[in-house]
């Protein structure tokens, strides 16, 4: 992949896609093609085929998806499965038909079995039942991995898959009904500080452990893997470090400067007890993350002026 190649970033307005665009532009790639969801509905097979026929991209980063946290995943189970299946199938098939040189499919760490041994290694895929609350989304992402592998096997397509850990960064979703835990906690602590609330209520016990990667680090890994990885299966992308949700909340509380208490709503689910990625495969290729968690949260919190709740 060189700076003059035409590169399509699907999902360029999302947290991951926008980070990939920023990373490419910093490296001098200036032939990037994008479309908003209003301009191109990736669930529409004919529209996607027409787009690929017209634009003829040489490289594709497939970062478009319907995403959300525990509540959204569990509430909109049909939409999360149907929409994500359509998006990935349409883009991957169009990439095959129109001779894309290389495609990278972005998945999610929720593909792993709920009780898989920790840290999660790539070969743990499909070794046990999934976490129930986000099973439809996970099944869609597993299908994307297998579709890339099947196209590599049958058609010789250089289609690869990348599995990021939990992400945060610019262009994150802060809607309390559909966001992931880190942005939701940033918003809760900020609003509690602004309104002088005596407490911030966390979902669950706070005991589950999670790993968090800044989106800019993921984007750097994605560009690295587009250059360095061509094989079946997928590569975990993470930090190899985790912490409890309660510890995360305490870190965010400190960054925000909130002085009240943290309490727990035990009627809400905890989700998977632990979800730490084994990143030995990625480290062995020569890549590791750069942005520490507290530093990353400070960066995010310092740039929230565009949020209407800020």
Q: Which residues are annotated as a binding site for substrate?
A: 188, 203, 210, 270
Q: Which residues have a catalytic role annotated?
A: 137
Q: Which residues are annotated as a binding site?
A: 11-17, 106-109, 141, 164-167, 180, 188, 203, 210, 270
* DSSP code per residue over the chain: --TTS-EEEETTTSHHHHHHHHHHHHTT---EE---TTT--TT-HHHHHHHHHHH--SEEEE-------HHHHHHSHHHHHHHHHHHHHHHHHHHHHTT-SEEEEE--GGGS-TTPPSSBPGGGTTSSPPPGGGHHHHHHHHHHHHHHHHHHHHH---EEEEEE-EEE-TT----TTT--HHHHHHHHHHHHHHTT-SEEEEES-S--EE-EEEHHHHHHHHHHHHHH--SSSEEEES-S--EEHHHHHHHHHHHHT--SEEEEETTS---SSEE-B--HHHHHHT------HHHHHHHHHTT-TTSTT-
Q: Which residues are annotated as a binding site for NADP(+)?
A: 11-17, 106-109, 141, 164-167, 180
């Amino acid at each position: 992949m060189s700076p003059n190649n035409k590169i399509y970033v699907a999902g360029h307005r999302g947290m991951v896609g926008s980070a990939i665009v920023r990373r490419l532009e910093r490296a001098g790639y200036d032939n990037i093609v994008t479309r908003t969801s209003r301009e191109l509905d990736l669930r529409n097979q004919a529209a996607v085929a027409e787009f690929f026929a017209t634009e003829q991209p040489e490289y594709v980063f497939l970062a478009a998806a319907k995403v959300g946290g525990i509540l959204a995943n569990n509430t909109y189970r049909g939409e999360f499965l149907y929409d994500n299946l359509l998006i990935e199938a349409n883009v991957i098939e169009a990439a095959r038909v129109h001779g894309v040189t290389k495609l990278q499919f972005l998945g999610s760490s929720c593909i792993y079995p709920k009780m898989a041994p920790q840290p999660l290694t790539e070969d743990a895929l499909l070794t046990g039942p999934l976490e129930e609350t986000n099973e439809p989304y996970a099944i869609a992402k597993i299908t994307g991995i297998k579709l890339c592998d099947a196209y590599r096997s049958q058609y010789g397509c250089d289609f690869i898959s990348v599995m990021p850990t939990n992400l945060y960064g610019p262009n994150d979703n802060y809607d309390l009904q559909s966001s992931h835990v880190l942005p939701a906690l940033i918003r809760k602590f900020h609003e509690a500080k602004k309104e002088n609330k005596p407490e911030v209520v966390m979902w669950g016990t706070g005991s589950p452990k999670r790993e968090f990667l800044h989106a800019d680090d993921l984007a750097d890994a994605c560009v690295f893997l587009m250059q360095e990885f061509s094989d079946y299966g997928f590569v975990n992308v993470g930090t190899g470090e985790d912490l409890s949700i309660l510890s995360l909340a305490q870190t965010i509380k400190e960054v925000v400067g909130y002085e009240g208490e943290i309490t727990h709503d035990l009627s809400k689910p905890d989700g998977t007890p632990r979800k730490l990625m084994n990143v030995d495969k990625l480290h062995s290729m020569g890549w590791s993350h750069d942005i520490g968690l507290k530093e990353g949260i400070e960066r995010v919190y310092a740039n929230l002026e565009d949020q209407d709740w800020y």
